[in-house]
Structure 1
Amino acid sequence: MPPTTQSRSAISYVVMDGDELSAPLFTAWCAQRAEAEGLIVTEVITDPDSLTPPAERPGWGRVMALAACGGTAMVITVNRRMIAADPREWADLAEQLADAGTALTTMAVPAAHKSTEQKNGVTA
């Protein structure tokens, strides 16, 4: 089920992997993406380690619980590796969220960093 037009909230989901200093920057990028979609980030959820399977992460559990309650249009993360290293796992998790009416996406590369990142071959 696609997000409804009445669902105007988004969740920012960030996995820190020992880089807590980047949290404000990562969450700001996710908020920019939400704003571009006409959404407001209503909750920022973090987990400490991307090596832990998503189903075992407390933060990801909260993401899934909020999506199940309805009213969340989108979950935004910095990149797919924060959630799943395997594209099939990402697709499975995206499908689970879609069943609850929530889209799973990565942030768009902020315009201020786009030219540098494109030169380095980095994409969101």
Structure 2
Amino acid sequence: MTLATGPRRPRVPVAVYLCTGETDTVELLANYCHQYARAREWTIHDTVHDPDRRQQLAERPGWAQVFAAVRGGEVSGIVTLSLPMVAAGVDGSPDWESYSALRQTIAGLGGFLIAIRADWHLDVRRTGSELARRHTLSTRAAGWEEP
């Protein structure tokens, strides 16, 4: 069996953009985005982090950096973990209209924006009692009795 040989597709350069105040999770969240990009054979050009979602998107230095990379043709796309990192309502929930408008703006520059988990919410601060409660629930769900 021979594999088809032909011109190889050029790799798509992307920037990973994260916005979270949980600085201890940035590496983990970036890893999720990197895995997503690598699974599609995209090349990760840069990974950028802004620490404050309360700041308007246009005022964030990290966002300005990845947006300029799309505008300048350095990257073809921006990969972010969750929609609220780039388009959140007042309460922090996903703002689908803003996200759609932002995607159109980036598409107008010849690029793309993808939020790999539109419903993503990661709460990394779990108390001991919450962990114990989750253990109890999973034990009961499995049909085992608590000692």
Q: Judge same fold: TM > 0.5, yes or no.
A: yes
Aligned-residue RMSD, C-alpha: 1.8
Counterpart CA distance in 2 for 1:108 and 1:89 is 16
Q: Which runs of 5+ in 1 are unaligned?
A: 110-124
Q: How many residues align?
A: 104
1:32 and 2:41 are equivalent in the alignment: no
Hey, which bits of structure 1, 4+ residues long, moved more than 2 A?
Answer: none
Query: In the alignment, which of 72, 76, 93 is matched to residue 73 of structure 1?
Result: 76
TM-score, with structure 1 as normaliser: 0.76
| Percent of aligned positions that are identical | 26
Contact persistence 1:14–1:23 (CA under 8 A) = yes
AA at the equivalent of 1:23: V
Query: In the alignment, which of 48, 52, 55 is matched to residue 51 of structure 2?
Result: 48
Task: Say which structure is richer in helix.
Answer: 1
Counterpart CA distance in 1 for 2:72 and 2:100 is 21
What's the CA shift for 1:16?
1.7
Q: Which runs of 5+ in 2 are unaligned?
A: 1-8, 89-94, 119-147
1:98 and 2:107 are equivalent in the alignment: yes
Contact persistence 2:19–2:53 (CA under 8 A) = yes
Q: Which has the higher contact order (CA 8 A, sep 6+)?
A: 1
1:22 and 2:25 are equivalent in the alignment: yes
Query: How has the CA–CA distance of structure 1 residues 91 and 7 changed in structure 2, closer, same or farther, with 3 Å as cutoff?
Result: farther
